[in-house]
Amino acid sequence: MQRPSSVPSYLWALTPLYTCGFGTPFSMLYAAIRKRSMWYGAAAAGYATASGAWIYLVELYADTQEPALVSLFMVVCMLCPWLVGTVHSLAVRRQVFDDVRPYGTANEQAIAVAQHRRSLRQQARELAERDPVMARELRIGRPDLPRQYDDGGLIDVNHAPAVVIANLPGLTPALAEQIVRVRDEVGGFVSAEDVSAAASLPPHLTSDVAEYGIFLP
């Protein structure tokens, strides 16, 4: 995976600094549009209000000495879009530009892929629980059949043939045949624990069957 160029993101993040804060509302408005975020929009409005207040007070007291409290308020209105805006932009730069660190090692990439596959299995299970008919139509847990839906590597223990069930981690062809034989006798299973008990599987296989198995009615 190649890391996207970070130059545009840094130019955007430093806009408040090199525009003395006057560009901050516009840079935050860009972030609001890019990310479709009302929070960035609110930030843009806040910075614009601060800049507008500073300009108004400068014009108002152009020929007179402003009170101390007003002078303090003017300083705050000037520094907020300038310095606070710079810190804010740098803090959210990666979020706005999706400039995330690439995978540094093959191991990190492998972990990310495994987590993605686990997420796919969870999504498939939730779909099957809501709509088992749809799950069967999508052939969830049936890698032996033509299909387009990616279930993350699930195997339907209640319908898949023994040669497919044997692909579950730790299972041998003999254990897979034993599961199918018991399945035909009892009419199906409801959980990994049910399979392990009914088919007399070694206890250490239960967690793997739970992770990769699904039990469609």
Sketch the domain layout of the chain as residue ranges: 7-97, 117-214
Q: How many whole angstroms separate alpha carbon 146 and alpha carbon 207?
A: 28
Q: How many whole angstroms separate alpha carbon 32 and alpha carbon 42?
A: 9
Instruction: Select the more confidently predicted residue: 105 or 217.
Output: 217
Quickly state the pLDDT bin for 104 (edges 50, 70, 90).
Answer: low
In this predicted structure, the answer to whether residue 208 has a pLDDT above a threshold of 70 is yes
Q: How many whole angstroms separate alpha carbon 52 and alpha carbon 78?
A: 10
Task: Determine the average pLDDT of the residues in 29-35.
Answer: 92
Quickly state the pLDDT bin for 3 (edges 50, 70, 90).
Answer: very low
Alpha carbon separation from 190 to 142, 160, 167 (Å, rounded): 17, 14, 19
> What DSSP designation does 199 have?
T
Q: 58-72, 89-103, 138-152: which has the minimum mean pLDDT?
A: 89-103
* pLDDT (tens digit per residue) in 162-199: 999 999 998 999 999 999 999 999 999 999 999 999 99
In this predicted structure, the answer to whether residue 80 has a pLDDT above a threshold of 80 is yes
* pLDDT (tens digit per residue) in 107-143: 778 888 889 999 999 999 999 999 999 999 999 999 9
155 forms bridges with which residues in the sheet?
Answer: 213
Cα dihedral 118/124/126/132 (nearest 10):
-150
Instruction: Select the more confidently predicted residue: 106 or 30.
Output: 30
The whole-number pLDDT of residue 95 equals 86
Quickly state the pLDDT bin for 1 (edges 50, 70, 90).
Answer: very low
Cβ-contact 24, 77 below 8 angstroms: no
